[in-house]
Amino acid sequence: MSNSLIAPHGGELIINLADESEREELQERAQSLPRIEIGSRQLADLEMLASGAYSPLLGFLGREDYLSVVDHMHLSNGLPWSIPITLPVRQEKAAQLKEGEQVALVNSQGELQAVLYLEEKYSYDKRHEAQSVYRTQEEAHPGVKVLYQQGAVLLGGPVRVVALQSQAFAHYRYTPTRSRQLFEARGWKRIVGFQTRNPIHRAHEYIQKCALETVDGLYLHPLVGDTKGDDIPADVRMKCYEVLLENYYPADRVMLGVLPAAMRYAGPREAIFHALMRKNYGCSHFIVGRDHAGVGNYYGTYDAHYIFAEFDPVKLGITPMFFDHTFYCRTCEAMASTKTCPHPQDQHITLSGTRVRQMLQAGEIPPPEFSRPQVARVLIAAMHQSA
């Protein structure tokens, strides 16, 4: 077995962040370039492109790669890639831009974020993308809603990023280059990544520790980009992760970092996308639980497991670790799953998200078999502050 970390997707980290001298040159040049104001999702995409987390992408997808990703979940060169990374604009704005020119991408304050080398502009079928990527055309789906609201023309081409969005959680905001350095410093070769946008309860803790039994280290990597309005805020979640790691995990076997990407809620396709990003961060394995990146009832409970069978494992590179629904069983007197516990459901301690919220709002700590008390106390305090 190799003594080094897993290679990034495509073989090398593609860092699209301009260095200091290039940045000065681009900022000067941008003053005379056409400008496009971009929103929070594209700002997050720029950060991911800048750091190499979206390797092997050089920028926003051109038409050939876009169609290949939407229809076949691969880039046109054959590499797996399941979510289209695009830059949409309104038709009237696109009409003012010429292919072959450079475009300044600015934030809502008008500050330069990146320069796009516009290779092509092209129209696309939003309903087709919705059905292919999200498996639904319903606007009630949060990812589809964003898609339907965005511009009708896509701009494709490489970017050079000159500034990054707000650096919340800077202490944990490791780039793939940095996470790889930290893994190597710890002597880790086999690292399992865990994606989450929720607080971690006993079920998550159980599957993380099951995975950790078989590898060198766990990279707890919560997403802190855009999420749905009713998801628990990232700062509250981070406090939950900190108290959990401090009290229940071995410090030399676990690392906490944040993923600044926006959430798409694309279910199975997003499971592939999340795995490929973690490969770039240096993870050799990736945990996929039930209804990964799902929302509502749009995806089957284990669709995010089944989709991995549609890819060549060698091209994918990262190894998925699948886990079924887990719970505390009174008869087993332990955490278990449907794979390991033979007892009926009335022996399982499971609580709906609604019931947990009701308990926390009432200041009640859920049963210790469901949630660690330290985590519950953080959530109760946050709910009372926002009430």
- pLDDT for 384 equals 86
* Cis preceding-peptide flag for 342 (omega within 30 of 0): no
- Nearest residue to 160 via CA among 25, 53, 262: 25
34 close to 97: Cβ distance less than 8 angstroms:
yes
- pLDDT for 232 equals 84
User: Given the structure tokens 């279910």, which residue do they identify?
Assistant: 267
Mean pLDDT of 19-25: 95
114 close to 164: Cβ distance less than 8 angstroms:
no
- pLDDT for 1 equals 41
CA 116/CA 46 separation, integer angstroms: 11
DSSP 327-358: EEETTTTEEEETTT--S-GGGEE---HHHHHH
Mean pLDDT of 291-319: 96
275 close to 282: Cβ distance less than 8 angstroms:
no
pLDDT, tens digit (0-9, with 9 covering 90-100), for 253-279: 999 999 999 999 999 999 999 999 999
Q: Which of 35, 198, 357, 377 is catalytic?
A: 198
How confident is residue 387, by pLDDT bands cut at 50, 70 and 90?
low
- Nearest residue to 364 via CA among 383, 386, 387, 344: 383
pLDDT, tens digit (0-9, with 9 covering 90-100), for 277-286: 999 999 999 9
How confident is residue 362, by pLDDT bands cut at 50, 70 and 90?
very high
Residue partners of 7: CB distance under 8 A and separation at least 6: 317
Mean pLDDT of 204-231: 90
| pLDDT of residue 350 exceeding 90 | no
Question: Which is more confidently placed, 212 or 199?
Answer: 212
Q: How many CB atoms lie within 10 A of CB 134?
A: 24
| pLDDT of residue 26 exceeding 60 | yes
User: Given the structure tokens 């749905």, which residue do they identify?
Assistant: 228
**DSSP-derived 3-state class of residue 301:** coil
Mean pLDDT of 36-46: 95
Catalytic annotation present for 198: yes
Q: Which of 41, 135, 160, 197 is catalytic?
A: 197
